[in-house]
Amino acid sequence: MRRGLVWTLVVLLVLATGGYFGDNLIRSYAQDRAVEAVGSYVGGGRVTVQLGGTPFFPALITRSVPNSHVEVATLPLEITGHKVHLTDVVADTGTVALGASEVSVATMTASAVLSYADLSKIADLPISYAKDGRLELRYTRQLFGRDLNLAVSALPKLDAEKQLIRITQPRLDLAGNESSDIVLTQDQLDSIVEPIKVQLDHGLRLTSISPGEGGIAVGVAGANVRVPIP
């Protein structure tokens, strides 16, 4: 009831002030409410929301906008069954519609950063940045009748179709291993490394990855995304 009263007052304000200024007041009010809603969903932190549509007034009737731009400091997400956080998220969407219990997004593209701590959680093994776009992955394997801790340097490559991060061009990092007398053939090394599944919730998909010292920069996309209203 209170929300309906607020919207009625806003409509009257638009009719009173007219045109451009009134329309911007509605947009500003809606963006402030969107920031509150997104902030509640992500658990706080920096949030910026820009809602599209000119004029904006029809959004009151349709409860939708043709596009939006959203930036959040941290976004909680589930990847392959693990709760992680994407940071420095910047997203652009197509039509956003507000329903009774959820928000639906027709299309979305975004950029973000996935930390190596969270990637390690997803892969269930320690992963850190090496250099030159390579990762260091630490495996424990039984070889030659003993358990060995192996540090492997490799290039990650995204298989966008299967939503896998494939570990390519692996090589033994002798400086990072406990035993310097380890000798493995390339076939043996290839058999040790395994792809990392990256199944995102809400029907989102990874579209690109780029490792760096501060984490892996990722591209994300989705269609017909539905997010429950907190």
pLDDT in tens, 14-36: 444 444 556 788 888 888 888 99
What pLDDT score does 1 carry? 46
Distance of CA 96 to the CA centre of its chain: 18
- Stretch 156-178: mean pLDDT, rounded? 83
CB atoms within 10 A of CB 117: 13
What pLDDT score does 41 carry? 85
What pLDDT score does 121 carry? 97
Question: Mean pLDDT of all residues in the chain?
Answer: 84
- Stretch 85-89: mean pLDDT, rounded? 97
Q: Comparing 41-45, 92-96, 110-114, 173-177, which segment has the lowest mean pLDDT?
A: 173-177
What pLDDT score does 176 carry? 53
pLDDT at 161 over 60: yes
Q: What is the pLDDT of residues 45-82, one digit of tens each?
A: 899 999 998 888 788 788 899 999 999 999 999 999 99
| 211 pLDDT tier (thresholds 50, 70, 90) | very high
What pLDDT score does 15 carry? 44
pLDDT at 201 over 80: yes
- Stretch 184-201: mean pLDDT, rounded? 83
63 vs 115, residue with greater confidence: 115
What pLDDT score does 177 carry? 53
Distance from C-alpha of 155 to C-alpha of 182, rounded to nearest angstrom: 21
- Stretch 100-108: mean pLDDT, rounded? 91
23 vs 217, residue with greater confidence: 217
| 146 pLDDT tier (thresholds 50, 70, 90) | low
Question: b/e string for 8-44 if b means 16 or more Cβ within 10 A?
Answer: eebeeebeeeeeeebbeebbebbbeebbebbbebbee
The secondary structure of 45-102 as a DSSP string is S-EEEEE--SS-TTHHHHSEES-EEEEEEEEEEEETTEEEEEEEEEEEES-EEE-SSE
- Stretch 109-126: mean pLDDT, rounded? 97
What pLDDT score does 134 carry? 94
pTM: 0.83
